[in-house]
Amino acid sequence: MEVTEQQVEELQGLFCPFGILDLKAAIEHGQKVNLTPLDIFDLINEARECVGFKQFEAFENVDPVYCVLEHILQMAKNKIEDVTGYDFQCDFHGDTEFYTYGNFMCSDYDYSAAAKDDLIDKLDNLSTEQLRQLRESLFVCAFLDQVEIDIIEPA
């Protein structure tokens, strides 16, 4: 009896319920911060376990792109707070702060214009040394690039 491509795809789908575009988007975001496919798998697995699923249970309920973007956001937030003392997720008291919106390959950061302007204002007032420290972080660079914020040298 011959094994069909459909059977192989069906079995593979049971092991990996994500579409190829979801996986590609997760890898593309991960590459910006030097995450390997194993690192990405670990992030997905950690997220799955955090919501109470047992080993190999309910992978289909976890968004791989969200996991990567959320990791980048948290690492960038930590670095920016370490360098500046400003936590752009908790210290901002206006409209929607930065957060990760999950929708598989369409996952992205969501935020208000006021939150973005506030972060830009904080970055504009940093010293050259603080800016250098932020530029050295792949996580900060990937996050700021995704939300279309450039780090400008002070005049």
Whether residue 89 contacts residue 97, with contact meaning beta carbons closer than 8 Å, is answered with yes
Does residue 140 lie within any of the structural domains?
Answer: yes
Q: Which domain holds residue 98?
A: 18-146
Does residue 30 lie within any of the structural domains?
Answer: yes
Whether the pLDDT of residue 76 is over 90: the answer is: yes
Does residue 24 lie within any of the structural domains?
Answer: yes
Structure tokens at 83: 């360098």
pLDDT of residue 49: 77
Report the number of distinct structural domains present in the chain: 1
pLDDT of residue 52: 67
Does residue 10 lie within any of the structural domains?
Answer: no
Q: 110: exposed, middle or buried (C-beta count within 10 Å: 0-12, 13-18, 19+)?
A: middle
Nearest Cα residue to 26 out of 120, 99, 104: 104
- Banded model confidence at residue 116, pLDDT cuts 50, 70, 90: very high
Does residue 154 lie within any of the structural domains?
Answer: no
Does residue 22 lie within any of the structural domains?
Answer: yes
Does residue 132 lie within any of the structural domains?
Answer: yes
Whether the pLDDT of residue 152 is over 90: the answer is: no
Please report, as a single letter, which amino acid is at residue 7.
Answer: Q
Does residue 155 lie within any of the structural domains?
Answer: no
Structure tokens at 108: 């992205």
Classified as helix, coil or strand, 44 is helix
